Amino acid sequence: MVVALFGPLLSLIPIDILRLAVGALLLVFGLQWLRKAIMRASGYKALHDEDLIYQTEVAKPARPARFVRAGMDWYAYTIAFKGVFLEGLEVAFIVLTFGTAQGNIPLAALGAGIGSSSSLCRRGAHRRSARFPRNTMKFASAPS
């Protein structure tokens, strides 16, 4: 719905201004990513310990007593909704961008559907991908 409302408005923005804004944001985020990778590689920042991060995040919320109404845990529902909404919005913007650039939004939407359905299969691949050294991958994929 957000894409349907705001998608056509993107075509009203001059492409050069849009490219400059997106490029500046990518540069800022990429440089932050590179800085963190260099700090981790040099030992100034701790390497990522995914298990520790997970345990910290689980313990972090000052969760009130379990609030169940109409058979639902609304705290858990809200957290899950936020994550799914943000991921879906990200995919929608990517699809809109590629579809508009190629002049074929239906084909881009088909690609998004395939990507969304394949992301459901990532649960099974999580354990296999957890064996890869994440810090090395992050440093190697940082923009040069």
Model-wide pTM > 0.95: no
Quick check: 27 pLDDT over 90? yes
pLDDT one-digit tens code per residue, 74-86:
777 788 888 878 8
pLDDT band of residue 66 (cuts 50, 70, 90) is low
Angle at 11 (CA atoms; ends 17, 115), nearest 5 degrees: 100
pLDDT one-digit tens code per residue, 46-56:
877 778 887 88
Quick check: 32 pLDDT over 80? yes
Percentage helix, strand, coil for the chain under 3-state DSSP, each rounded to 5: 75, 5, 25
pLDDT band of residue 23 (cuts 50, 70, 90) is very high
DSSP 112: H
* Average of per-residue pLDDT across 114-126: 61
Task: Give the model's pLDDT for residue 105.
Answer: 75
